[in-house]
Amino acid sequence: MKSLFKKKSTREILAFSLLPFGISTIYSIVGTALNMYFTDVLGLSLSMTGIMLAVTKVWDAVNDPLMGMLVDKTNTRWGKCRPYVFWMSGPMILVTALLFAPVDFGQTGNFIYAIIAYILYYTIYTALDIPNKGLAPLVFPEDKLRVKALSWSNILGSLGSVLPSLLFFTVAGLWGRENQKQGYFFSALIFATLGAVPMFFSAFGFKEKIKIPPKKEKYIDGLKIVFKDKKYIVLTIAMFFSSIVNIGSMFLPYFAKWNCIGVLPIDQLCDWINQTFGISLQLTSEGLLTPLLQIGSGISYMLSMALIPLFLKKMDKKTLWIGTSIIGIAADIICFIVGIWIVPYNTFAGAVVYMILRFFTNFPVGIMTVLTTAMFSDVVEDLEMRTGKRLEGTVFSFQSLISQISVAIFNALLLNVVDAFGYNVDKMNALTNNLTQPLIQSPTQSFVSGGVDYTLLLNVIFFLLTAFGAIGLLLQTIPMFFYKFDEKAQAGKLKAFREEKERRENEELNALAAENEKSASDAK
């Protein structure tokens, strides 16, 4: 019987893991390529892209709580959160493709289209993401099994994140440099389908164990409950700053395209592929170098998630959070120093060293991804024991809202910073046309053209990729010193609570069955 339960749990974990694989694949498409598509293909300025991100968050301020309220009131035979996986997987493909549609309405028209498409995308994405975050405690009520499920599901999720970051630009490049819009569109469509199809079928492989009656409470009443919980406040503050940790990675394609010009003999490589295999490719620096630079970080991301259950046998989640953040701070700072002053990032050796160091700088990101969901799930369980109310939708929708607001604020801020330092795709294309040598001689030697210090501009991009993450790690660590939660005591209380709840439910069912039997007997 125990063996059967174990096999069933393993099958559920595997099926459950396909869900974050799909969501991460789709989200990674946007994180990897959207900014570059808007700026370097559609022709929007970095500041316009930042404004667009900020404007769409106004809708998120309504959409996220609305979705949380909807989840809390959902009660179907498939469960509370699971139905949204069935309902939203198909539309997710459509809105992702629309986001990369090869439109040509002029800069202003493209800007308006981008806002509309982005709002549609995040509406559907939120309808998937919030139920997904609430599923773990419903499918895996026992803490140890839940952490194991989250670890393995996030390993597959990290694979989903890695695939577009490794291959998106390469696939887009198959349409040629003159057909970039079509290349981006079909690449987005391919990866969105790759994510959505397994996500849809994943929901057939697991079931929600905890049945929750539909809620009649107002969403604001749920917020009042969670805001009284100090643990939730601390985690929400930490979550706000944790978005800074990896937000600089959106500049990796820019780094590969501009900072690494001449690092690899791309034209010669294309000629060799054409002569050897008869395949005509028009590879770009970002198409070839972006995946290569992602290798170290991708391995680190998956490995860190796999090691979490082992780490949590030695320490609690809070200690792991703080310790990992400190290691990450050191790694980010070292990476920046090495790339500027020791092995310049705009050389072949520098690119190789940076690729290796990304293994260490990205290690905390995988850890935090799992810990965030696990710790907010702990809050859901604790609130249920203390208040009798199960508030997955409220807890995770507000957390999602804060996360998206944080990403929008810092995304817009960083885009405007780079824009202020002189980023202009037309001028830079003219400056680097047919250039086979690095744009700058060294990260420590100034190169000024047309009033722009390109050494400073490229160094800013490299700083955002490296040392800026250390700032986020520091800011997300400070609130955790105020996080008070006894995990061992919680496990014992939760077990007793579940047993008592099951006993009461069985008594109610038995009483109802006896009443029905008596009514049937009286009718005779």
Task: Please report the pLDDT score of residue 13 as a whole number.
Answer: 86
Give me Rg for the CA atoms of the chain: 25
The larger pLDDT score, comparing residue 510 to residue 100, is at 100
Q: What is the pLDDT of residues 16-69, one digit of tens each?
A: 888 889 999 998 999 889 999 999 999 999 999 988 877 777 787 678 778 877
Task: Please report the pLDDT score of residue 3 as a whole number.
Answer: 42
- Print the SS3 string covering 284-319: CHHHHHHHHHHHHHHHHHHHHHHHHHHHHHHCCHHH
Task: Please report the pLDDT score of residue 50 as a whole number.
Answer: 86
Whether residue 447 is predicted with pLDDT greater than 50 in this model: the reply is yes
Task: Please report the pLDDT score of residue 2 as a whole number.
Answer: 43
Task: Please report the pLDDT score of residue 483 as a whole number.
Answer: 95
DSSP-derived letter for residue 76 is B
Q: What is the pLDDT of residues 68-119, one digit of tens each?
A: 778 877 777 788 888 888 889 999 999 999 999 999 999 999 999 999 999 9
Whether residue 8 is predicted with pLDDT greater than 80 in this model: the reply is no
The larger pLDDT score, comparing residue 467 to residue 403, is at 467
Q: Name the least confident of 268-277, 340-349, 431-440.
A: 268-277
CA 276 to chain centre: 39
The larger pLDDT score, comparing residue 514 to residue 503, is at 503
Q: What is the pLDDT of residues 386-396, one digit of tens each?
A: 988 878 778 87
Task: Please report the pLDDT score of residue 6 as a whole number.
Answer: 47
Share of the chain above pLDDT 70, in %: 93
Mean pLDDT taken over the chain = 86
Amino acid at residue number 464: L
As to burial, measured by CB atoms within 10 angstroms (0-12 exposed, 13-18 middle, 19+ buried), residue 444 is exposed
Check: CB of residue 81 under 8 Å from CB of residue 392.
yes
Amino acid at residue number 69: M
Task: Please report the pLDDT score of residue 505 as a whole number.
Answer: 66
Rounded distance between C-alpha atoms, residue 226 and residue 72, angstroms = 14
Q: What is the pLDDT of residues 148-181, one digit of tens each?
A: 787 788 788 878 888 898 889 889 988 877 889 9
- Over residues 482-496, mean pLDDT: 87
Check: CB of residue 356 under 8 Å from CB of residue 371.
no
φ, ψ dihedrals at 91, nearest 5°: -60, -25
Rounded distance between C-alpha atoms, residue 275 and residue 291, angstroms = 23
Share of the chain above pLDDT 90, in %: 45
Q: What is the pLDDT of residues 347-379, one digit of tens each?
A: 999 999 999 999 999 999 889 988 998 899 899
Q: What is the pLDDT of residues 270-298, one digit of tens each?
A: 788 778 887 776 777 888 888 888 888 88
Whether residue 5 is predicted with pLDDT greater than 50 in this model: the reply is no
pTM: 0.83
Task: Please report the pLDDT score of residue 451 as a whole number.
Answer: 93
Cα four-point dihedral sign 57, 61, 62, 63: positive
Check: CB of residue 162 under 8 Å from CB of residue 301.
yes
Task: Please report the pLDDT score of residue 4 as a whole number.
Answer: 35
